[in-house]
Amino acid sequence: MTLLSVRDLTVKFGTRGTPVTALHGISFDVARGERVGVVGESGAGKSITGFALMNLLSRPGYIDSGEILFEGKDVTKMSDREIRRLRGNRMAMIFQDPMVTLNPVLTIGQQMIETLRAHRRLSYDDARQISLVKLKEVYIPSPEARLDQYPHELSGGMRQRIVIAIALLLDPQLIIADEPTTALDVTIQADIMELLLEMCRSNMVGLMLITHDLGVVSQVTERTLVMYAGRIIESGKTRAIINDPQHPYTQGLINALPQQTPPGTRLRQIPGSMPTLSTMPPGCPFNPRCELATDVCRARMPEITQFGEVQVACHEVKRLHAELAELEGAQ
Amino acid sequence: MFAYLVKRLLQAIAVMLAISLIAFAIQGNLGDPLRELLGQSVSEEVRQQLREDLGLNDPFLVQYWRFLGSALQGDLGTSYFFKEPALEVILKKLPATMELVFGATIIIIGLSVPLGIYTAIRPNSILSRAIMAISIIGISIPVFLTAILMIYFFSVELGWMPSFGRGETVHIIGSWDTNFLTVDGWAHIIMPSIALSSIMLPMFIRLIRAEMMEVMQSEYVRFARAKGIAPGRIYFVHALKNTLLPVITVGGVQIGTMVAYTILTETVFSWPGMGSMFLEAVNRVDTPLIVAYLIVVGFIFVVTNTIVDLIYGLVNPTVKLARMGA
C-alpha cells in the first residue's frame, strides 16, 4: 500500500530575477514500512527532496509544481496548521549533524516533552513517561538522568540517538533521515544505522534514507533512487541497482567504491563535477562527464523507461536494450 | 562558583586600580590646584609652603599611594567648590542619575525585545521597514540634539511636558529622592529617559533583530519546525533565549556607557544628577570632584559588568561557572 506518492515535484529557488530549478519534476513512491535510499553526490537535490516532503524548504526555495500525496492527502495544498499536525507526528525527520540539531539552551526532556504535547493532549508527567520509554528503546543508558541534561553534556552518538528517539516519539509512518551518520565518528556510524534499521523494522515505519554511502544503502534499504542534478536518473530494487547498475552515472558511483579497486591501485572516479543549478548543460545533465554521450544526449533530456526491475533515464541504455531485444528477436 | 567569584573580584580590583591611576594622573594636568584654593593675591612663599604641606612636591607615585590609601577609606579628596568631601557630593547626586538610567533601561528593555523580535520574524512588513528606518535616524542623531528637539516640541510648542529639573520628588532614604511616586515626578523623568535611550534603543533593536534572524536560520529551529512545534513557541522558547545570550553581554557594557551619556542629557534637561555636576566641575576645574566622578563611574561599570557576567552564566547552560574559574 502506498504511503507516500510524489508526482512531478518541481522545486525552484527564487533569487532576484529568474528562479533556478533545483528539482526537475521528480516522481517516486514509498510503500508503508518500506525503506528507500536516496543516493547521489552533494548538490544532487537529495536533501531538498527530503525537506520539500515536509514543506520545510528554507527561503528562497519553494515548491513550484507537483503533488506530494502522503496518506492520500496532498502536502503541497495543506494549510500551515494541517502540515504542522503532520510534522513530527505522522512524518518525522532526522537531521545530519546531531551537534546542532538540538537546542543548546533546552534540556533533552523539554525538547522531547514539547514534541509530544504539540500533538497530543498529555499531562507533563505522562509525556515525561513516554519520553523515558523512548529513550530506553534507543538504548540510552540512565535515561532518567538524561532527561534533565542539556545537549552539550552528551556525545554526538548519544545526541543522534536522542534525535532518533524524538523522531519515534509519536509513532510516525515515515521517517526522513538526511545523512544521519555523516557527522558521526566512524566507530558509531554502524551502531546508529543498525538502531535506525531496527526501529523502522520493529515499528513498521517507512524510511527515506538520504545518503551518499552506497554500502549503507545496500544494507538498509529495499529500494533506491539515484539522483543527479535535480533528477531521479535511476530507481528500482536496491539489489538490482547495486548488482547491475544501468545508468553510466550509477555505474560510475559503484565503480568509485574503494572495495571495487584492487589494493595499491588508484581509486576510480567519475571525471569532472556535477553542473551547478545555473550552468546546467542542454540535454542530459550527465552528458559532459559521460563516456557514452552522443549528440542525442547533448540535445535532449532522456525520459524515464522501465527495464526489468529498474527505471532508467538514459538514451544509451535505451538504445542498448533495444539492440539487445532486436538481436534476441533475430535469433 | 566560588573560584569564579574570586577570579572576577580580582579582575574588578585590577580594573579599579587602572582607573584610579588614570584618574589620578589627569589630576596633575588640570591646572594648578593652588590657584583654585588661594586665588592670585598670595605671596610665592606661602604658595610654596602650602605646596609642601599638601604634598604636591612629592614624587608622583608617593602621591598616588597616598591617594589610594585615603580612597580605600572612602576619602576621594575635598571638592574645591563645595568645600565638602567629593564622594559625598557625588553620592548626593547619584540617585537622580541612577533613576534616569533606570528609566532609560526600562524603555530600552521594554521596547527593544518586542520590536527586535517583530522586525526579525516579519522583515518585509511595512512596520518593520519603518522601525528600521526610524532606528537609523535614532542612532544618527546625537543625544543632546534629540533632547533639545523634544524640549522644543513638547515643552515650548505644545506645552505638554516640563522642560527641566526633577519636579516633585518623594524622599525615600538618605539622599535618595524618587521621581516615581508622583505624577509630576513621572512627567519630569519621561523626556530625559527617552532622550537618554534614543541611541541605545535603536542599537538594541538592531542587535536583537540580527541575532534573532541568525538563530531562526539555525538547524535546531528547523528541527523544532520538523517536530511540528507551533511558531509562537519556536520564536519565544527556542529562538529568544539563544538570541538574548549575546545581547546580555553587550547590554552590560551599555548600561555603563549610558551613565556616561547622562552628562549630555542631564545638562540639557538641567537634571540635578552627577552628570551635570561633572560638567560643572570641569568648568570650575574642581579636580578632586572630577577624579572622584571618574572613579565612581568606573566602579559602577565594573559592578554592572560583573553582575551581567554572573547572569549570563545562569542563563547559558553551556557556561559552567565552576569551570570558568579553573
Give me the pLDDT at residue A6, please.
Answer: 93
Q: Please check whether residues A69 and A194 belong to one and the same domain.
A: yes
Please answer yes or no on whether B227 and A152 come within 8 Å at the CB atom: no
In a domain, A96, yes or no: no
As given in the structure block, the three cell numbers for residue B28 are 596633575
Weakest-pLDDT range from A85-99, A286-300, B118-132, B217-231: A286-300
CATH number of the domain bearing residue A197: 3.40.50.300
Is residue A141 one of the residues assigned to a domain?
yes
End position of a domain, from candidates A143, A169, A195:
A169
Question: Which residue in this structure is represented by grid cell 590646584?
Answer: B33
The answer to whether residue A183 sits within a structural domain is yes
Q: What is the pLDDT of residue A234?
A: 92
The total number of residues shown for chain A amounts to 331
3 state SS of A310: strand
The residue of chain B with its CA nearest to that of A94 is B223
> Nearest to residue A231, comparing CAs of A76, A95, A62, A38?
A38
Interior/surface letters B294-305, b for 16+ CB within 10 angstroms, e for the rest: bbbbbebbbebb
Average pLDDT over chain B reads 84
Cα of first residue to Cα of last residue in chain B, in angstroms, is 10
Distance of alpha carbon A313 from alpha carbon A284, whole angstroms: 9
Q: Is residue A97 part of a domain?
A: no
Chain B residue with the nearest C-alpha to that of A116: B227
Total CB pairs under 8 A between chain A and B: 74
> pLDDT tens digits, residue range A179-235?
998 888 888 888 889 988 988 998 889 999 999 888 889 989 999 999 999 999 999
Can you read off the three cell numbers belonging to residue A312? 532508467
Nearest chain A residue to B319 by CA distance is: A152
The pTM of this model reads 0.82
Within an 8 Å CB–CB cutoff, is residue A58 touching chain B?
Answer: yes
Does residue A75 share a domain with residue A112?
no
Are A237 and A189 found together in one domain? yes
Q: Is residue A98 part of a domain?
A: no
Other CB atoms within 10 A of residue A277 CB: 17
Average pLDDT over residues A255-273: 82
- Residues A147 and A276 reside in one and the same domain: no
A95 inside domain? no
Domain span at residue A163 reads: 106-169
Q: Please tell me whether residues A184 and A283 are part of one structural domain.
A: yes
- Residue B188 CB: number of other CB atoms within 10 A? 23
Number of H helices, E strands in chain A: 13, 12
Could you tell me if A186 and A294 lie in one domain? yes
Q: How many domains does one find in chain A? A: 2
Residues of A in contact with B242 (CB under 8 A): 103-105
Q: Are residues A316 and A238 in the same domain?
A: yes
Q: Are residues A154 and A54 in the same domain?
A: no
- Judging contacts by C-beta atoms under 8 Å, the chain A residues touching residue B217 are 58
For the ranges A89-93, A256-260, B171-175, the one whose mean pLDDT is highest = A89-93
Mean pLDDT computed over every residue of chain A: 89
3-state secondary structure chain B: CHHHHHHHHHHHHHHHHHHHHHHHHHHCCCCCHHHHHHCCCCCHHHHHHHHHHCCCCCCHHHHHHHHHHHHHCCCCCECCCCCCEHHHHHHHHHHHHHHHHHHHHHHHHHHHHHHHHHHHHCCCCHHHHHHHHHHHHHHHCCHHHHHHHHHHHHHHHCCCCCCCCCCCCEEEECCEEECCCCHHHHHHHHHHHHHHHHHHHHHHHHHHHHHHHHHHCCHHHHHHHHCCCCHHHHHHHHHHHHHHHHHHHHHHHHHHHHHHHHHHHHHHCCCCCHHHHHHHHHHCCCHHHHHHHHHHHHHHHHHHHHHHHHHHHHHCCCCCHHHHHC
pLDDT band at A121 (very low <50, low <70, confident <90, very high): very high
Q: Cell 551502531 belongs to which residue?
A: A191
Residue A105 is nearest to which of B224, B225, B316, comparing CB atoms?
Answer: B316
DSSP assignment letter at A328: H
Task: State residue A163's pLDDT score.
Answer: 94
pLDDT at B27: 74
Cα distance from B254 to chain A (closest Cα, Å)? 24
pLDDT band at B288 (very low <50, low <70, confident <90, very high): confident
- CA-nearest residue of chain B to A58? B217
Q: Are residues A9 and A147 in the same domain?
A: no
Stretch B274-293: mean pLDDT, rounded? Answer: 87
B220, B222, B225, B227: best to mutate for the A interface, most A CBs within 10 A: B227
Q: How far is A89 from chain B (nearest CA, A)?
A: 7
Q: Is the pLDDT of residue B58 over 90?
A: no
Helix-helix angle A156-168:A124-137, to 10 degrees: 120
Query: What is the rounded CA–CA span in Å between residue A43 and residue B129?
Result: 35
Q: Give whichever of A264-278, B123-137, B271-285 has the largest mean pLDDT.
A: B123-137
Among A169, A184, A210, the domain-final residue is: A169
Residues A162 and A175 in one domain: no
Contacts of B311 in chain A (CB under 8 A): none
CATH class of the domain at B88-284: mainly alpha
Q: What is the mean pLDDT of residues A258-279?
A: 82
Does the structure show a pLDDT above 90 at B261? no
| CB contacts, 8 Å: A105 with chain B | 241-242, 245, 315-317
Return the C-alpha cell found at B43. 605671596
Q: Please check whether residue A207 lies inside any domain of the structure.
A: yes
Whether residue B31 is predicted with pLDDT greater than 80 in this model: the reply is: no
More reliable by pLDDT, A227 or B163: A227
- Does the beta carbon of A183 lie under 8 angstroms from any beta carbon of chain B? no
A 68-127 residues with CB < 8 A to B: 84-89, 92-93, 95, 97, 100-106, 114-115, 118-119
The DSSP symbol for A20 reads E
**pLDDT of B36:** 65
In DSSP terms, A13 is beta-bridged to: A20, A61
Query: Are A252 and A321 in the same domain?
Result: yes
Shared domain check, A193 and A300: yes
Percent residues over pLDDT 70 in chain A: 99
Give yes or no for A175 touching B (CB within 8 A): no
Where residue B322 falls among pLDDT bands split at 50, 70, 90? very low
